[in-house]
A and B are shown apart, each in its own frame.
Chain A
Amino acid sequence: MTKATIEVSGLVKTYAKKRVVDGLSFTVNPGTVTGFLGPNGAGKSTTLRMLLGLTRPDAGTALIGGRGYHEHPEPLRVVGALMDARWTHPKRSAGAHLTWLARSNRIPVQRVDEVLAQVGLTDVAGKRVGGFSLGMAQRLGLAGALLGDPGVLVLDEPANGLDPEGIAWMRGLLRALAAEGRTVFVSSHLLAEMAQLADDVVMIGRGKLITQGSVTDLTSLSSTEEVLVRAEEPERLRDLVVEHGATVVEAPERAEALLVSGMSSEDIGRAAARAGLVLFELAPRRRTVEDAYLKLTADSVEYRGSVQQPMEGSRV
């Protein structure tokens, strides 16, 4: 296993006059799990395809271990990729699929049994892939990525289709692989999962880098602390905190609760006590990865749905 860094520099890709990747630059280091986040249409899949040599960039470079993907003579020994678990022939068995992959890069065929055991598919090695569930297909895709014992793993939505136990297993596996010094680069929409899994995050929007850094840095980015408050007299509370220079909005997820920014929970409690206000709930809200993601990508969302109003007469 050879350690390698992923280096993307000035990457550009245009489709039909639309720049889907626009001067993107970032680095992914060995020994870390790095999450690749962004709204739909941000350019994540295109970036990964350029990194893996499946799509030619219009400008810029995407290097793994200092070389382009196609420059590695036996790339499966350097980079393990899981882009789409359905890139298999449905009538071929799992073992046969991995065998031809192994032979293509002169990987010892014994590795097939090893990776099947690693992903828990030993019992179905002889079964046709067409009969696999989505979760089993994902595990097979991961087995294919691990086949060459690569120093770099590039995974697009690896937890797709996995049940909670499978997701926990995947998390443990990827963390262990990173702990061995491998570079693990994971694109995912499961933000809560990414918060538990990733050390670093690369966030893009409309083809551009929004931010890159540790998960801790991301969740503390730009915001002041927010406090969830529920009071007996919400209007009095609103006037009170505004007087103290804080901002207040209605909490989106809680009826009659307010979100206060610009005052600590201690200050709110003291001010309420002095004003004789009864508080039912006073809870500092820890910013999550999802909060940071939604805030940072608010301007970069390509495809935004609308909230449907219930039909007249329908039960809500």
Chain B
Amino acid sequence: MTTAVLRTEVDKLRSLASTWWFLGITAAVSLALSGFGVRETAEGQEPGIADVLTGPAFAQLLIMVFAARSATMEFRTGTIWASRLAVPSWYRLLTGKAAVVAGLAALAGAVLMAGGLAVAALAEPTARLTPDSGLDWRQLLTVPVAFAITAVIGLAVGLLLKSGGATVAVVLVWSLVAEPALGAAGEWLLRVDIGAWLPFIALSDFQGQPGGTPFPGGPYAAGLYVTALAVGLLTAAIRLQERREP
């Protein structure tokens, strides 16, 4: 039954033209930004891997929106109830959906990371694109992982809010506005420096993105922490769905 649930979720995504459009546009934007990233490096600096990854960093946000939409669309169209009749367990249904969405996100991350490097090599042949440090390797190899984590977060928020518009607003405003603001002003507002503990800031440290706040325990602990948060949010969303009456 588990394999059947996973195949079903793959079928659902594959059978919609919007899936392919969305992924296509995300890929185009990401690859273009990777190319521009190495072409438009600040004067005096050598273009490198971090510049290539501006593309996937933006794509990560789009994939989070895509994941949220994969949940909200089912509730909006009523398809979720047909799914529920076919798989009469919220736990199996929604973890299957999360697994497929996370898997697709990870695959997209790997493709965009590799594709970004290829585009960058064409756009700026002098760029330093070969990883030659632990940080370089971490920056590249955490891209698929980070995509999967943010996809699960987006899906979980979508399950909690059920509204596409509200979900997109919440995840984007949180990641782009609220977290940076809390990170900068948290100690002043709350008397506690919570910056490193905010999920997207912690994820940024895990990915080795420059200019971030170091996580206590190091970047790999940050990765484990954000993974646990994503799983916890998904679990809470599933539990709440089980308790809600349709």
Which A residues have a C-beta under 8 Å from some C-beta of B?
15, 49, 52-56, 69-70, 72-76, 81, 83-84, 86-93, 96-97, 99-101, 103-106, 144
Contacts and interface: CB of A to CB of B under 8 A. Distances in A.
Contacts of B85: 52-54, 75-76, 81, 83
Given A84-B78, A88-B82, A89-B73, A96 B89 contact: no
Contact of A89 (B7, B8, B79, B89): B79
A99 to B, nearest CB: 6
A87 B12 contact: no
B84 A76 contact: no
Given A89-B16, A106-B4, A100 B81 contact: no
Contact of B88 (A69, A91, A99): A69
A100 B73 contact: no
Of the listed residues B12, B79, B81, B86, the one surrounded by the most CB atoms of chain A closer than 10 A to its CB is B86
Given A70-B88, A76-B86, A104-B87, 17 more contacts: A53-B84, A54-B81, A54-B246, A55-B246, A74-B1, A75-B85, A84-B81, A87-B78, A88-B79, A88-B82, A89-B16, A96-B15, A100-B8, A100-B11, A103-B7, A105-B86, A106-B1
Contact of B18 (A52, A54, A91): A91
B83 interface: yes
Contacts of B43: none
A161 B70 CA distance: 30
A55 B246 CA distance: 7
B5 interface: yes
Nearest to A76: B86
A151 B75 CA distance: 29
A105 B246 contact: no
A144 B79 CA distance: 12
Nearest to A75: B88
A55 B242 CA distance: 10
A87 B77 contact: yes
B245 interface: yes
Contacts of B77: 86-90
Interface string B87-99: 1110000000000
A53 B4 CA distance: 20
Interface string B191-215: 0000000000000000000000000
Contacts of A93: 15
A56 B86 contact: no
Given A91-B16, A91-B17, A99-B15, A75 B84 contact: no
Contacts of A86: 77-78
Residue from B77, B88, B246 with most neighbouring chain A CB atoms (10 Å) = B88
Contacts of B17: 91
A72 B87 CA distance: 10
Contacts of A84: 78, 81
Contacts of A101: 82, 86
Contacts of A54: 81, 84-85, 246
Contacts of B87: 104
Interface in B104-128: none
A202 to B, nearest CB: 21
A99 B84 contact: no
Nearest to B3: A106
A70 B89 contact: yes
Nearest to B12: A100
A96 B86 CA distance: 15
Contacts of B82: 87-88, 101, 144
A69 B88 CA distance: 7
Interface string B1-29: 10011011001100111100000000000
A49 B78 CA distance: 14
Nearest to B5: A104
A170 B10 CA distance: 33
A73 B79 contact: no
